[in-house]
A = this chain, B = another copy of it.
């Protein structure tokens, strides 16, 4: 097995050196890969935000459906999305890799290239990590640190009754691509891209935080219903959404013509990494202007109310009967 030999010959510290060579410097990073810790400066006027994710082969991804470069890109982007979801600027990323014998040095380098490309796309750098072998599956851990000026971070808990619910971009594309892959079908390039190379909405999150427009915010990782549920539960509120307002891509709508039941994927599918946020009703015009400025659809999909619960109204006035509330790692069926 060439792959096995390559990694064993290179060794742990050889691999770390290869990874280090792909990392780029940053003015705030005083010490990057190669010591016990990274060292960075944090400006006095900023707060530090930190988020961590674990990604497991067979749970979060399937190596038959993705290339290593895209997997690296996605691993960084989904963690950066957590920084974006509070209005922060991502800075330092940390990458843990547990690698089975079946993965080659070349594949790991492609992974790191994708990871570093995503970091760079959002102004962040790879600042540290850990590598080891894995008995069976590829395991990826990512921690992201970001900053925002003190008091600007947008939490899940700040929403108020009467606030409008907005979401960026379109929903369901990633889950639809995954559903098609699960069924042995080939998703369109547009849908596949949304699944394999999700975009973190860093600029949008930043603008919503610095303007103070968003009262609460979260990124759509578990699905619209589940993630809105997190805002509702943290803010002690309920919401009414309008099904026909949920923004869908042309690719999603096309598939829906033949498979109308897959509409549910836009509500509960997850992995969209769009920003879901609430704003005071008098700020609606500001959101319209921000959408134009960023050339990014920001769609009003509903309203918050004091009464708990989530209703999704259909055009005929009936309640849309969604089957599940979103992805739960311990209660859901295997998906990869």
> Which of A's residues lie within 8 Å of B, judged by CB?
7-13, 15, 30-31, 34-44, 46-54, 56, 58-60, 82-83, 85-86, 88, 92, 94-99, 127-137, 139, 141, 143, 145-146, 150, 153, 155-157, 218-219, 234, 328-331
Complex formed: what's the CA distance from A133 to B137 in Å? 13
Beta-carbon contact of A36 and B11 below 8 Å: no
CB contact under 8 A between A331 and B52, given known A36-B82, A59-B133, A139-B139: no
Beta-carbon contact of A38 and B50 below 8 Å: yes
Beta-carbon contact of A141 and B59 below 8 Å: no
Q: Which of B44, B128, B133, B134 contacts A44 (CB 8 A)?
A: B44
* Chain B residues near A94 (CB-CB < 8 A): 50-52, 143
Complex formed: what's the CA distance from A275 to B5 in Å? 34
Beta-carbon contact of B37 and A83 below 8 Å: yes
Beta-carbon contact of B50 and A141 below 8 Å: no
Return A240 CB to nearest CB of chain B, in Å: 23
Q: Which of B8, B60, B96, B153 contacts A52 (CB 8 A)?
A: B96
Q: Which of B83, B95, B139, B145 contacts A56 (CB 8 A)?
A: B139
* Chain B residues near A47 (CB-CB < 8 A): 30, 39-42
